[in-house]
Amino acid sequence: MENPNLEELVKKASQGDSGAFEALVRSQTDRLKRHVNHRIGVRLKEALDADDVIQETFLKACKAIENFVWNGEAAFFYWLSRIAEHVILKASQKQRVFLQVDTVLDDQTTPGSRAVRQERQKRLEEALMKLSPDHQKVIRLTRIEGHKIAEVALKMDRSPNAVKKLLARALDQLRLQYGESTGSMRLEAPFLFEGGEENDG
């Protein structure tokens, strides 16, 4: 059985052929799932399901494919992967994955102090969402998913030194958005501001 002609399928799908789009989904699902699993990382896997991300990605792709301009198979998969990464980012914000903290701390605090922590965590989430896409991405990759600087450099197509500078600016912007007068940010999000040195290799 011959492999489907991807360019022809994309052309037909962009013209509203649902059968062609279903064939595209079948041809790209396995590769996209590997990509999504890699992007989700260890921390996000507890809150995000790869199959849900893939389903949402294809739904968005179906709505947008009429505007896609064919430029080869690699460009098509890159287009799909960018949609998936946007879905992951939005889902992680919705699930408040950015605000995962050590539950032992919550167990050791009073209801009143937990309420204060929850309010601060909410403000931290809002601050994160105000950052630029690059700043959100570098924080997600280094401080949330735990990738090393060298790995992030490859993912972001930057030099390691450029990633370090980007991360420093991102954390500075996060502090500005959050506000220094409301308490220690290390309390609300220790994985963001502590233990970063091990990722610099």
Closest CA to 50 of 64, 68, 34: 34
Closest CA to 175 of 113, 102, 123, 118: 123
* Domain 6-94: CATH architecture, name and number where available: Orthogonal Bundle (1.10)
The CATH number of domain 97-200 is 1.20.1250.40: no
Closest CA to 126 of 49, 191, 179: 179
Average pLDDT over residues 82-99: 71
Is the predicted pLDDT of residue 36 greater than 50, yes or no?
A: yes
Q: Cα 34 to the chain's mean position, in Å? A: 15
Residue 124 is encoded by which pair of tokens? 């931290």
| Per-residue pLDDT reduced to its tens digit, 144-174 | 667 889 989 998 999 999 999 999 998 888 8
Domain boundaries of the chain, sorted by first residue: 6-94, 97-200
Contact 193, 170 (CB under 8 A): no
* Intrachain domains 6-94 and 97-200 with the same fold: no
The Cα-based distances of 43 to 22, 83, 89, 143, 191 in angstroms read: 31, 20, 13, 10, 11
| Per-residue pLDDT reduced to its tens digit, 42-66 | 666 767 788 989 999 999 999 999 9
Entry pTM: 0.48
Half-sphere exposure of 157 (CA within 13 A, CB side): 0
Is the predicted pLDDT of residue 37 greater than 80, yes or no?
A: yes
